[in-house]
Amino acid sequence: MGVLRVVQIVSRVLGARPVWSRLSSYRSFSAEPLAGESTALVYTTHGEPSRVVKLGPLQLPSLGDKSVLVKMLAAPINPSDINMIQGTYAVLPDLPAVGGNEGVGQVIEVGSKVKTVKVGDWVIPRDAGLGTWQTLAVLSADDLVTLPSDIPLLSAATLGVNPCTALRMLSDFEELKPGDTVIQNAANSGVGQAVIQIAAAKGVHTINVVRDRPDLSQLTDRLKAMGATHVIKEETLRRPEMKELFKAGSLKEAPEYFNFYPRPKLALNGVGGKSATELLRHLQSRGTMVTYGGMAKQPITVPVSALIFKDVKVRGFWVTQWKRNHRHNDEALCSMLDELCTLIRAGKLSPPACTEVSIKDFHKALDNAMKPYISTKQVLVM
């Protein structure tokens, strides 16, 4: 039984004492030898991360026959992590819980019956909710996937969510061929940057929509350096001239746009609201819009004309569900990770710009992760 589950049971007896106090009480009557002590970011109630997340010692349970002891190396702060702490995500762990759904660690000890990983392996979580914001963790070997250690640490730490989401959306909904076009909003997000790079590697054009901001010129240059075909503002997406990009290959406000691009087969929506509606308007007949996020926290309005006259498809995607659907199909998961690692080794897929922050400075990292227009991903290093 994991320590957090034990703590939860003990809490019913000990009452609403601080989690670290309850952990100390657990330590005093535990009959099993413990694997050691971790430093972890724990929350005991849902709320704003800066208020409810606390750093402190966490006793680890004993190492079972089928478990492994993992030293966490780096773990990013993703929007889903924030939503989980706030209590608004689709799946929520029992409380108290260790934050973090993604990250990379190194195996330092294995149970006697573990065959799938070995000491020294780099591993990432197979599913969400594992709790990666800690220095050490005792985890079931079945909950981990190995990664090659010849890719950069930040690539490994950020591989399991955004690049996987991008690759699946580019692969599973439309048959994209070189020369096809994809349009996406939230192009500066982790998913958006991965979409740009993976699409470019496949010879697929990307029309990338971002919010206006003071550093728009620098952002545009950075996304184009990744392989973005075009970067446009949300306001431009709603202008009539946008149609000219697909008609004659030019936008009046952007004289460098002289190539012809077919209307997008695929639209990727991470925002919702009016932005998603505008993406739909630019899809070709029988194209597909896939929604994977809703940063605007607004519903999507689908124009009747898009359904009747263009027969567009409106779909959703959640990488956690994809992984759960393929939990007993290691070949599918490993094949996806191998494809992404091949792109990384070839220099065709880089992690998003990251700011590495010590776990001791987690408050700064959490604050920055929640600020608008922050162009770097906060990554906790242990």
- Amino acid, single-letter form, for residue 355: T
| Residue 181 in tokens | 């076009």
E runs forming strands in 272-345:
288-291, 313-316
Q: How far apart, in whole angstroms, are the C-alpha atoms of residue 359 and residue 365?
A: 9
In three-state secondary structure terms, 164 is helix
Q: Is 261 annotated in the active site?
A: no
- Amino acid, single-letter form, for residue 231: V
Contact 58, 40 (CB under 8 A): yes
Q: Mark 49-81 as b/e (b = at least 16 C-beta within 10 Å).
A: beebbebeebbbbebbeebbbbebbbbbbbbbb
In three-state secondary structure terms, 58 is strand
Q: How many CB atoms lie within 10 A of CB 348?
A: 16
Q: How far apart, in whole angstroms, are the C-alpha atoms of residue 137 and residue 148?
A: 20
**Adjacent-strand bridge partners of 38:** 58
Is the previous residue joined to 96 through a cis bond, with omega within 30 degrees of 0?
A: yes
In three-state secondary structure terms, 229 is coil
Q: How far apart, in whole angstroms, are the C-alpha atoms of residue 87 and residue 85?
A: 5
List the catalytic residue out of 89, 257, 261, 292: 89
Phi, psi (5° rounding) for residue 266?
-135, 135
Q: How far apart, in whole angstroms, are the C-alpha atoms of residue 234 and residue 90?
A: 28
Which positions are catalytic?
Answer: 89
